[in-house]
Every structure is written in structure tokens, then in C-alpha cells.
Copies of this chain bind each other. A is one copy, B any other.
Amino acid sequence: MPNQLHPFDSIQDYEITLAAKLIKDGYNPADNVHFVLIDRLEPPKRDTLKYLEAEKAGKPLPEVPRTAYAYFYTKQKHLHKALVNLTYKHVITTTTLPHGTVGPLLPEDVIECESWCMEHPLVQAEVEKLQLPPGYVVRTDPWMYGTDSEHEDRFLIQYYMYLVGSNGHEESNHYSLPLKFAPVFEAFTKKFVRIDFLPGGVDEKVTATLPWKEVLPVEYHYKLHGEKPRDLKPLLYVQPEGVSYEIEGSKVKWQGWEFRVSSNNREGMVIYDASFKGRSVLYRLSLSEMTVPYGDPRVPFHRKQAFDLGDCGFGSSANSLALGCDCLGVIKYLDCLRCDGEGNPVLIPSTICMHEQDDGLLYKHVNYRTFDSTQARRREFVLQTIATVANYEYILNIVFDQIGQISIKAKATGILSTMPIDEGLDVPWGTNVGPGVMAAYHQHLLSFRIDPAVDGHNNTVVYDDAVPMAIDPVLNPYGIGFVSERTVVEKAGYIEQSPFTNRAVKIINESVINPTTRKPVAYKIDTSARQMMIAHPTSFNSRRAKYATQQMWVVPYKDNQLWAAGEFTNQSQTDTGLAEWVKGEAPVRNTDLVVFATMSLTHLPRAEDFPVMPTDNLPEINIIPYGFFEKNPGLDVPQSDNKGKNSMYYEESKKQSTAQNSDCCKKASL
């Protein structure tokens, strides 16, 4: 079986089993091997390129060995990383990671962590002091410990404590009732470290735990919020003749596009080898990292900085998407596989959904002399994955259109991470969202790794600014002229944002000249200007996520440089990703290069974001052909019409439903 897999196919269940077995074979049972991750290792690009070439030419396919990487603990203490050759069934290397390196946690480890904490006598003693009225129980959310010391080398967990109202209902919104103490434990060893107390006033001051004064929770669950549902008529997406896409294994074909898609634990979903109308556009595209730093300055809230890929994994935290709920239409689902602590495969079904949708008009022109209208509707192909990272949900869409464009769209939803606030107060770094509950300002910074292949792998990044021409009595006598000025990015580094010159970052291929424009073919990486990481440059927040201090970066391609903040982000001291890769300012012109682009959302919560937050759009990243084609590549998209009867008049619909209703009445009166 393994040799039938494509190098870009996701890890298989038997591959996880095999990797776990080979690794465990090297240890004694007393070593207590506990896996936290087993996944496919990205094959070296030079190997896959040979494979892809042979595949395109219909020649015999070279072997690209399947390789897994695994993180595991031994003796509840030491973190190791192993590489396993799955094709030849042997462990390639095992490395014990430097003391202080902290790996991700499995979902079931997190749940288990909750139990230790809640059962610990010191925690129970603190709960006692609350003198809770009947109908309230305590619940805890474990949090990654952030970083606030160069000398900390334990794997720590911070626990935020909440009350569950509504008679302890399992769906009650505990984020509505935050408590004012937060225990700290060592992970795995379960060692109690201390209890932090949380400020509830307008400054850093804390108090000992006092009896709790009852306030009612703000509930979001339909069983608990007590609101009568609105009347909303169903809206169906129907494709009576089937879909326009074809999917076989990881290979997707749609409207001129061909690409592969696979799932992995860390990035959730990855697009590979995307070409449009036979011309290559991207080698690989994925979410690379996300950090969520909070702006509440007070101890211990300063440690609230999550890395949702490195600490948790966007694939291992992915939702099982449901038909008609997360996605409408005719849907193809893909699964994600992760391991459990023993190294057994765990299936998370339907973590990626794929379908077509309509998005208004693709183009239109009406000839004002004849009133003839030329118009095509814009059909899209969407890949979606949604991850739940404790309180927050992230919705990620990668959208292909019919004319060579790829759009990356992300939305945040879920429940705000909350802090206690004393009655009658408010603070300048957060918003009161309910009685006794405040949501601190924070940011979401999602870095996307764009590994381009614009008509081949040797590409160059440039940026074009729109600048006014000087007034000139001959050439620009009326002072209205403006031109585009190009800057070539020669060395690895970041590109400054410049919205007021309409700065446009482009990936070009200097060897391929577009005969129409007489310029190198290009794809534009288009996004909006945004405030990046606000935290002080010397702060751990910034140092651990240097990638998030600038919007766009360019680096030369290197195998295994996938994750913007580095491989191990949990309790990291520093960004070992982009911060390292740009050192040395390697040349990036006319070479195999990678662009990292970050979506930033400075989120100052509003009352409407609670108890469950309406989806908040992050700025889109659009990958747009810009003089890549010689002309609009969508002239062959069929003209739109109502032949398929996809639409009807309101008045017609009214008559139908009235007719139906009167039929009902007749029957009832008989």
C-alpha cells in the first residue's frame, strides 16, 4: 500500500501505528513512552519536484520515501523527537530535546490536566472559601503558561478557574463567571507550583479569596439562553446536475485548477502543487502559525499568549464538520488523523470540507448602444477547516476562483477569554461584557506560508508603489499624473507596509515575459494594512513571535522551514522561525523563495461579542494573477442565465406559499 501513496498524501492510520511501534521498540516499558504527536514529515522539495515532473510527463515515478516525525515524552519528563522512515520501516534518528523544550499537548492530556487540578486539596481549599450557593460548580480551563522568565525550564500549566451556573449544566457558559485565583501546576508530573491571584479592580492589586457574591451567567447555548427562535425560512443550495469538481484521493480538479490537499496535525490543511490552465502557481500553501497575545498588562495575565498551531495544532483541534451546518451544497469531506498517547491512530472525521459556491458576478458589461449584456457569475471552490482552541473558534477558508485567483479568508468566533472585574468598575485595556466579567483587548496574528511557483520555482518578490509625478510644464502640466515605481526585494527580510502609496507586493518570474504587458509574469499578494504586534519589542510576546511584528516576509526556500515562530512555541523564549531565517539576509532574487504574510486583528471586544462572538473577519489575503495571463482567462466561463430556473420573483414565491397555505386550510377545515 504505502508505495501507492502520493508524496503529498496525509499520514495513514497504519503509518501512525508503524511509527509508534518502531519508536517504542527502542524503549523499555518503564520509560513510559507518551506520544504527543506523530505526523508525516514534509519530503525534501528536490525529491518531490522530480516526482511531480515524472507525474506530469507520464513517466515512471521515482520513489519518495514516506517519513514520519514524532514528539514523545519518556519518564514524564524528557521530550524527544524521532524521524521514522515508513517506507523502509526504520527509525532514522531520535533526538532528546534540550532541557526546557516544551511540546504540544494532546486534547485528552488537557482534559486529564483538568482533573488533577480540580482534585488537588489546595485547589479544593480555595474553592471552599468561595462558599458557593447551590446550583454553582467550579470548572477550569488549562492554559499554556506563556513565558515571563529566561530561567523557567519546567513544563507548566496555568489554570483559569470559572463557575458554572445554570445548575451546573454542562453547556453553561463558565466564561461568564471568572474566578479570581489561578493555580499553576507542572504538566505530566502533576506537581503543584502555586496559586496566582487575579486582580479584579483597575490596577494590579489582588486579594485573598472571599465568599462569592452571586451573579447570573450570560448563557449562549440554545438550551439555556431562554430566547425564542426567530422565524427563518430555509435557503437551499441545490446542484441537480451534480458538481463541477472532481476529487480522487488528495487530487482536486475544478474549473482549470489542479492541486492536492492534505491534512496534518499542526497546520490543519495544506494545498500542494496548484496550477491553473496548465501553468504552475504555487508549490505549497498553508497556515503557518497563529499567536494570540493579550493586552491586559497585569500579572499574571501578561502570560496569556497562545500559539494555536505550535502549542495545540490546527488539525488536532479541528472540528468534525457537519452537512448543512458548517457548509452548504454538495460537500466532499476529508479527515485528519492524529495519535493518542500510546501511539494509536485517532480519527477526526470531516475536518476539511470542500464545495462550490456562488459569489455574485465574475464580470459584466452592458453595451449602452444595444443594451446587450455580457455577464458571467463567479463560482468559487472553497476548502474550509474550523478549529476549536478552548474558548475560541477559527474558521479558515481557502477559496479558488475561476480565473486563477486564490483567496485566504479567516474568521474568529467562539467565546471571549474573560477576566473578573469588580462591580462598578471598568479598565482601559478591556471591555465589560457582562456582570463581573471583562474581556481584555488582544490580537490574533495568523501567518500564512506561501511557497510560490509562478511559472516555475525561480521567482522574485517586488513591490510597486503608486506615486504622483512631479508637475512638469511639458509632460504633466496639470499635475494629475501618477506612475508605478518598482522595488526589487534582493535579500531575506520583511517588507514595510505602505497603504498610502497603494504598495502592491508581487511574486514575479523574471524569465517569463508576458507578451501583452511586456513585463515579467506576476502574482500579487494582496492584503490590507493592519496594526501588527503592539507589545513592546523587548517583551516576550514580541520576541517569541517576531514574525508578527511585520506583515510580509521573504526568505529563500529551505526544507523544514514551515512554521513562522519556530518548531517549539510552548513556553518558547524566542522566535526560532522567521526571526532566525532572515538572519544573514540571504539573496532571494530569482530563486526558490517563500513569502510569509500575516493577517492581524486587533480585537477590542464589544458587548455584542458575548456570550458567543459573531464571526469577525480577518483581513483577506488574495493571491491574484497580475499580468500572469495575456488577457482575462475567464472568457470561457458560461454566460449566466435563468435557464436552470435558479431564481424566481418574490411575487411568484408569495403566490406559491399562499397557495400552499390555503391548501392546508382546506384540509384542516374538512
Asked if A434 contacts B379 (CB within 8 A), the reply is: no
Which of chain A's residues 606-650 have a Cβ closer than 8 Å to chain B? 606-615, 619, 625-650
- Asked whether any CB of chain B lies closer than 8 Å to the CB of A511, the reply is no
A476–B440 Cα gap in the complex (Å)?
Answer: 14
Contacts of A358 in B (CB 8 A): 235, 237, 328
- Asked whether any CB of chain B lies closer than 8 Å to the CB of A580, the reply is no
A475 within 8 A of B: yes
**Chain B hits for A319, CB < 8 A:** 364, 366, 373
Q: What does the 1/0 interface line of A645-664 toward B look like (CB < 8 Å)?
A: 11111110110110000000
Whose C-beta in chain B lies nearest to the C-beta of A630? B607
Question: Given A464-B604, A641-B324, do A479 and B538 touch, yes or no (CB 8 Å)?
Answer: yes
Known A237-B237, A482-B441: A534·B466 in contact at CB below 8 Å: yes
**In the complex, are the beta carbons of A441 and B480 less than 8 A apart?**
no
Among A35-43, A224-232, A560-568, the stretch in contact with B: A224-232
Question: Which chain B positions have C-beta within 8 A of A379?
Answer: 232, 235
Residues of B within 8 A of A242 (CB): 233, 653-654, 656-657
A370/B235 in contact, CB under 8 A:
no
Q: A295-B483, A297-B480, A366-B388 are in contact. List 5 more A-B contacts (CB 8 A).
A: A235-B329, A236-B236, A305-B480, A360-B397, A478-B541
- Contact between chains at A326 and B361 (CB < 8 Å): yes
The answer to whether A330 and B374 touch (CB under 8 A), given A302-B480, A608-B403, is: no
Contact of A628 among B327, B411, B608, B631 (CB under 8 A): B608
Instruction: Report the separation of the CA atoms of residues A228 and B477 in the bound assembly, to the nearest whole angstrom.
Output: 47
Contact A243 B517 (CB under 8 A): no
Q: Are A648 and B331 in contact (CB under 8 A)?
A: yes
Minimum distance in angstroms from A360 CB to a CB of chain B: 7
Q: Are B466 and A239 interface neighbours, CB within 8 A?
A: no
List which A502-544 residues lie within 8 A (CB) of chain B: 502, 504, 514, 516-519, 528-532, 534-536, 538-541
A88 an interface residue at 8 Å Cβ cutoff? no
Q: Chain B residue with minimal CB distance to A600?
A: B502
Known: A374-B222, A635-B227. A361 touches B413 (CB 8 A): yes
Expressed in whole angstroms, the minimum distance between the Cβ of A259 and any Cβ of chain B is 17
Q: Which residues on the B side are within 8 Å of A171 (C-beta)?
A: 367, 370, 372, 374
Give the docked Cα–Cα distance between A328 and B170 (Å). Answer: 41
Chain A contact-residue range equals 35 or more
Residues of B within 8 A of A614 (CB): 362-363, 378, 403, 632, 634
Decide if A469 is an interface residue (CB 8 Å cutoff). Answer: yes
Query: Are B239 and A237 in touch, CB under 8 angstroms?
Result: no
B232 touches A244 (CB 8 A): yes
Question: Residue A375 at the B interface, CB < 8 A?
Answer: yes
Pick out which of these stretches binds chain B: A24-32, A179-187, A279-287, A425-433: A425-433
A411 near B361 with CB under 8 A, answer: yes
For residue A488, give the distance in angstroms from its CB to the closest CB of chain B.
Answer: 16
Query: How far, in whole Å, are A467 and B609 apart by their CA atoms in the complex?
Result: 21
Cα of A107 to Cα of B156 in the assembled complex, Å: 73
A378 contacts B237, C-beta separation under 8 Å: no
Name which residue of chain B comes closest to A114, CB basis: B369
> Across the interface, which residues of B come within 8 angstroms of A222, CB to CB?
374, 635, 639
**Structural contact, B413 and A148, CB atoms closer than 8 A:** no
**With A480-B535, A534-B466, A653-B242 as contacts: A632 and B609 at CB distance below 8 Å:** yes
Given A325-B642, A644-B324, A478-B637 contact (CB < 8 Å): no
